[in-house]
Structure 1
Amino acid sequence: MGSVFGKESVEEPPHDTLLSRSDATTSYELRKYGQRYAATITYKKTGDKSENSPFGALAKYIGVFGTPQNEGDTSIAMTAPVVMENSNKPTQIAMTAPVVMENNKDDDSDSNKKMMFMLPVEYDSMDKIPKPTNPSVHIEEIPSQTGVVHVYNGKWGEARNTELAKVWHNN
C-alpha cells in the first residue's frame, strides 16, 4: 500500500473525475490521471527526519531550502500530492507443505521505499524538466492511471492508511 499526501491549496495533476461518492460512509472519488512527471528518490526507511531525508532531498531539488539543486537553479512550485510507496516486489515461493511466511511490520528497515514529488503541469516532457544535481534524485515519467482517492484531514502514515483502508473496505 502506498500513501499520498499534500495540501489541498496547491496545484494537483490534471485528472478526470469518473465517479464521486460523498453519500457513502467513507467519501471517495474515482479519478483518471494522464501522463505526468515526478522527481523521485528511492531510500531505506531509517527514521531520519533531518533535511538529509528523502523529503529534504526532493525539497532541495525544487528550491524549498534556498537555491534549487538542479541544472539552471530553476525554482519549481510545490504540488500535491507527494507520493510514498513501498517499492519491494513480491517474492515467488515454490509450493511446499506447509508454507510459512512472516512479516514483521514493526521492522521494515530493509524495505525499499520511494518518495515522489509530482511536477507542475508545465513540465510535460523530459526536455523541459531541470536535471537534478543530486545523483539520488531522478525524474520519472508516470503513465496514465486510474485510482481511488479518499481525502481526509489530519495525521498520515502507514497505520492511519491501514485504519482508513479497513473502514473503506468494510463499507
Structure 2
Amino acid sequence: MGQVLGKIDVETARFEVAQSCEDYEIRRYAPAVVAEVTYDPSAMRGGRDGGFSVLADYIGALGKPKNAGTEKIAMTAPVITAEAAAGATVITTGAGGAVTMRFVLPSKYGKAEDAPAPGDERVVVRDEAGGAFAVVKFGGVATEEVTAEKVEKLRRALERDGCRVTGPHLLARYNPPWTLPPFRTNEILIPVDF
C-alpha cells in the first residue's frame, strides 16, 4: 500500500545539498554505477519508457535476472531518462530521437566491474561520475509537456542567478507506475558549474 501512496522504500542515489533557494536546490551527487540502455522510443513497445523492461530484466525485477550468474539486483530510485549522448549506440532505430534510460545500481557495487555483466548486449554497465546538479522536484505524471515546462522554468531561474549550465537535463522518477499520480515524486536535474 505504501508505494501506491508514494512511499519510496528503496535505496536512492546519494547526494548532499550544497545550496537551496526558492526555485531549486544545488546537489552534489556521489559517483555511482549505472546500468543503461539507449533506444529510439518510436521503435520500442512502451515508447519513451520502452527501455524499462530491458533494464528490469537485467536486475531481475520481472523474473529471472538476465546477467552473469543470474544475480538478483535490488531496485533503486530514481529511474533516470535523458536524451541520448552524441555517439551513443542506439539499440533500435525509428523516426524519433534516441533516449537513454538508466538505473542507478545499489551502492554495494563500488565500480562497474563489481556488478554482474549483462546477459543482454543492449545493456551497458558503467561508472557514472558524481557532479553538481540544479534540481527541481514535482509531483504528478511526468509527461513530455510537463517535463519541458519544468526544464524551461529551471533554466530561466539558473540564468537569472548566473549559474552556468554544463549539459542537458535529466528526468528522475522515483515511483512505480502504480503509484497514484498526486503522490509521485519526479525531479528535473540540470548539470551546473558549482
Alignment of 1:134-149 (within 5 A): 134-149=120-135
| Structure-to-structure mapping, 1:3-152, within 5 angstroms | 8-21=8-21, 24=22, 26=23, 28-46=24-42, 48-49=45-46, 53-89=50-86, 109-152=95-138
* CA 1:133–1:89: 2 relative to 1, 3 Å: closer
Which one of the candidate residues 147, 150, 156 is aligned to 1:161?
147
Return the letter of the residue paired with 1:41.
V
Q: Secondary structure at the match of 2:70?
A: coil
The number of residue pairs the alignment matches comes to: 144
Structure 1 residues 143 and 43: alpha-carbon distance in aligned structure 2, compared to 1, 3 A threshold: same
Unaligned runs of 5+ in 2: 1-5, 88-93, 158-194
Matches of 1:88 and 1:116 in 2, distance apart? 13
Report the identity percentage. Answer: 28
Pair 118,88 (structure 1): closer, same or farther in 2 beyond 3 Å: closer
Query: TM-score, normalised to structure 2's length?
Result: 0.66
Deviation at 1:169, TM superposition (A): 4.6
Name stretches of at least 5 consecutive residues in structure 1 with no aligned partner.
1-5, 91-107
TM-score (norm 1): 0.74
Give the partner amino acid of 1:44.
Answer: D
Cα RMSD of the aligned pairs, angstroms, is 2.5
Task: Tell me the distance in 2 between the aligned counterparts of 1:29 and 1:86.
Answer: 22
Asked if the contact 2:136–2:154 (Cα under 8 Å) also holds between the matched residues in 1, the reply is no
Pair 39,61 (structure 1): closer, same or farther in 2 beyond 3 Å = same
Q: Which runs of 4+ in 1 moved over 3 A?
A: 6-9, 166-171
Contact 2:41/2:50, CA 8 A, preserved across alignment: no
CA contact (8 A) 2:28 2:131 kept: yes
Deviation at 1:63, TM superposition (A): 0.7
Deviations 1:112-160 (A, max 9, x none): 2111101111111123201110111110111121101212111113211
- Shift in alpha-carbon separation, 1:119–1:9, aligned structure 2, 3 A: same
State the 1:7 CA deviation: 6.8
User: Residues 74 and 150 of structure 1: is their aligned pair in 2 closer, same or farther, counting only changes over 3 Å?
Assistant: same
Q: Which amino acid is the alignment partner of residue 117 of structure 1?
A: F
- Cα offset, 1:162, TM superposition: 1.3
